[in-house]
Amino acid sequence: MTSSQDKVVIFDTTLRDGEQSPGATMTHDEKLEIAGLLDEMGVDIIEAGFPIASEGDFNAVSEISKNSVNSVICGLARAQIGDIDRCWEAVKHAAKPRIHTFIGTSPLHRAIPNLTKDEMAERIEQTVSHARNLCDNVQWSPMDATRTEFDYLCRTVEIAIKAGASTINIPDTVGYTAPRESAELIRRLIEMVPGADEVIFATHCHNDLGMATANSLAAVEAGARQIECTINGLGERAGNTALEEVVMAMKVRNDIMPFQTGIDTTKLMNISRRVASVSGFAVQFNKAIVGKNAFAHESGIHQDGMLKNAETFEIMRPEDVGLAGTSLPLGKHSGRAALRAKLEDLGFELGDNQLKDVFVRFKELADRKKEVFDDDLIALMRTSSDPANDHLKIVSLRVQCGTEGPQKADLVMSVDGIEHTTSQTGDGPVDATFNAVKALFPHGAKLQVYQVQAVTEGTDAQATVSVRMEEDDRIATGQSADTDTVVASAKAYVNALNRLIVRREKTGTDKAEISYKDVT
């Protein structure tokens, strides 16, 4: 990387477009933590939320703004004066605030607010000017740009530039474009729109056809200088462009994509794990850059080659993305200092009280499992110190299973501090356990997803279980890990219920009241 290379601004929208993904809702504290990690990693702009959507979003954006160090903090607002004012109220606390306002410009999107082309043009002029009167740094997006008539797109972009926007974002809202077309669109806009050379063009791609990374990089080659992306590609439907992919692509193939970013790539792995953990969206094993298998070389030929020369099969080093080299597992004789050091290596900074709690849980695990690997500790960290775990707690669980059904679960569970007991049967041990939880805490939430993964190899491996539950449009995920799959399942289920209870208590604040798609 040389300083003469053009800089590509990294705009992270994990906390807005990513968090909007059904089921990925994060708590206030989790949002703050992720924003801190993004800032530390060198993300130029953090889109922290959509302040008009709910009190919860507003508070998170305000708080992130107050705590920001280097990153610009951006809030999203529809093309409405009230939205823009609310957004400004939240981001104005940041050292470097930005307002991002948008409207859907394609024929399908224009039909929603039922505006003519001229009326929409006028709305763009008014709202961008209004935002610019509040904030020096304004970004404007024509939503569904890739399906907007080119002439009309040029017209609206020109209006936004004249009204004071300094960044023009071109979203491929439905993941419809392809690399050549993505490049062509940016190139033609830069060529044809008066004033285009005075602003930064951004690319914002969704991954519906699996082309988000390629489309973003193609746009950069054509002149875009801001990529909008999320950690792990989190986002609605098939997600957004993955930050780690575009950043590493420009780093590893700097010979053909000579652009620099300000990202400290050694922090990628840690932030990926945190986002997976707080969003409840596990990273697929073969995901580029941050997947569990991305640096694993299992086949004999690969291992032989790797031992002789790592470059045989590796185009980047695990350390470049923050993956510690092979490290020794901990065991039941490992002390608190060793645990702290290992957790720090894995990117977890713990206070003394947190360490105390994790150490107890680590000892319990080490008693059951001879070797505690990095992945075991990561799984352990996912389920510790979750304040949402307070209302319901599994006290004890005994499950009877075997070839003769039905299976039976004897459960003692504390509900707000009072212990209750039940025995329930079910179609399999997990079903019996969930029935027992439901008997002690009746609820109408539907189980949408139930996933089990082995953390490491061997029959004593821990299982991580993720569940997603839905109740009256509120979605909550829960996770847990244990060497006993049924226990992990019970704890994950209870974790999700606890989160739903917290959301119930906060209804009207935590729940999104307005979607960014309500454009009128």
- Cis ω before 51 (30° cut-off from 0): no
Contacts (CB under 6 A) with ligand KIV, residues 7-26: 17
Residue from 46, 53, 74, 143 binding ligand KIV (CB under 6 A):
143
Instruction: Please report whether residue 241 would count as binding ligand KIV according to CB under 6 A.
Output: no
Binding partner selected for residue 141 from Zn ion, ligand KIV, none, CB under the kind-specific 5 to 8 Å limit: ligand KIV
Cβ at position 60, least distance to ligand KIV in Å: 17
Closer by beta carbon to Zn ion, 17 or else 320: 17
Contacts (CB under 6 A) with ligand KIV, residues 76-115: 102
Binding partner selected for residue 88 from ligand KIV, Zn ion, none, CB under the kind-specific 5 to 8 Å limit: none
Side chain identity, residue 33: E
Closer by beta carbon to ligand KIV, 4 or else 520: 520
The Cα–Cα gap between 284 and 221 comes to: 29
Q: What are phi and psi of 409, to 5 degrees?
A: -120, 125
- Binding region for ligand KIV (CB under 6 A) out of 121-129, 169-177, 192-200, 441-449: 169-177
Instruction: Please report whether residue 141 would count as binding ligand KIV according to CB under 6 A.
Output: yes
- Binding region for ligand KIV (CB under 6 A) out of 64-72, 168-176, 281-289, 457-465: 168-176
SS3 73: strand
Residue whose pair of structure tokens reads 């029935």 in the numeric block: 435
Cβ at position 512, least distance to ligand KIV in Å: 14
Q: Evaluate whether 464 touches 480 at the Cβ level (below 8 Å).
A: yes
Closer by beta carbon to Zn ion, 186 or else 399: 186
How big is the chain, counted in residues?
A: 520
Cβ at position 238, least distance to ligand KIV in Å: 12
Q: How many residues bind Zn ion (CB under 5 A)?
A: 1
Closer by beta carbon to ligand KIV, 191 or else 518: 518
Cβ at position 277, least distance to Zn ion in Å: 23
Closer by beta carbon to ligand KIV, 86 or else 503: 86
How far is Cα of residue 378 from the mean position of the Cα atoms in its chain? 17
b/e map of 277-301 (b: 16 or more CB within 10 Å)? bbbbbbbeeebebbeeebbebeeee
b/e map of 203-239 (b: 16 or more CB within 10 Å)? bbbbbbbebbbbbbbbbbbbbbbbbbbbbbbbbbeeb
Q: Return the residue nearest Zn ion (CB atom).
A: 17
Cβ at position 171, least distance to Zn ion in Å: 6
The Cα–Cα gap between 289 and 286 comes to: 9
Instruction: Please report whether residue 516 would count as binding ligand KIV according to CB under 6 A.
Output: yes
Instruction: Please report whether residue 17 would count as binding Zn ion according to CB under 5 A.
Output: yes
The Cα–Cα gap between 230 and 248 comes to: 14
For every residue of 109-177, DSSP letters joined together read: HHTTTT--HHHHHHHHHHHHHHHHHH-S-EEEEEETGGGS-HHHHHHHHHHHHHTT-SEEEEEETTS--
Closer by beta carbon to Zn ion, 17 or else 158: 17
The Cα–Cα gap between 320 and 267 comes to: 9
Q: Which residues contact 364 (CB under 8 A, 6 or more apart)?
A: none
Cβ at position 9, least distance to Zn ion in Å: 17
Instruction: Please report whether residue 19 would count as binding Zn ion according to CB under 5 A.
Output: no
Closer by beta carbon to ligand KIV, 239 or else 478: 239
Q: Which residues contact 340 (CB under 8 A, 6 or more apart)?
A: 350, 355
Contacts (CB under 6 A) with ligand KIV, residues 170-189: 171, 173
Closer by beta carbon to ligand KIV, 98 or else 491: 98
Cβ at position 520, least distance to ligand KIV in Å: 15
Q: Which residues contact 299 (CB under 8 A, 6 or more apart)?
A: none
Q: How many residues bind ligand KIV (CB under 6 A)?
A: 10
- Binding region for ligand KIV (CB under 6 A) out of 37-45, 166-174, 313-321, 412-420: 166-174
What single-letter DSSP state applies at residue 442?
-
Cβ at position 76, least distance to ligand KIV in Å: 6
List interacting residues with Zn ion (CB under 5 A): 17
List interacting residues with ligand KIV (CB under 6 A): 17, 102, 141, 143, 169, 171, 173, 204, 206, 516
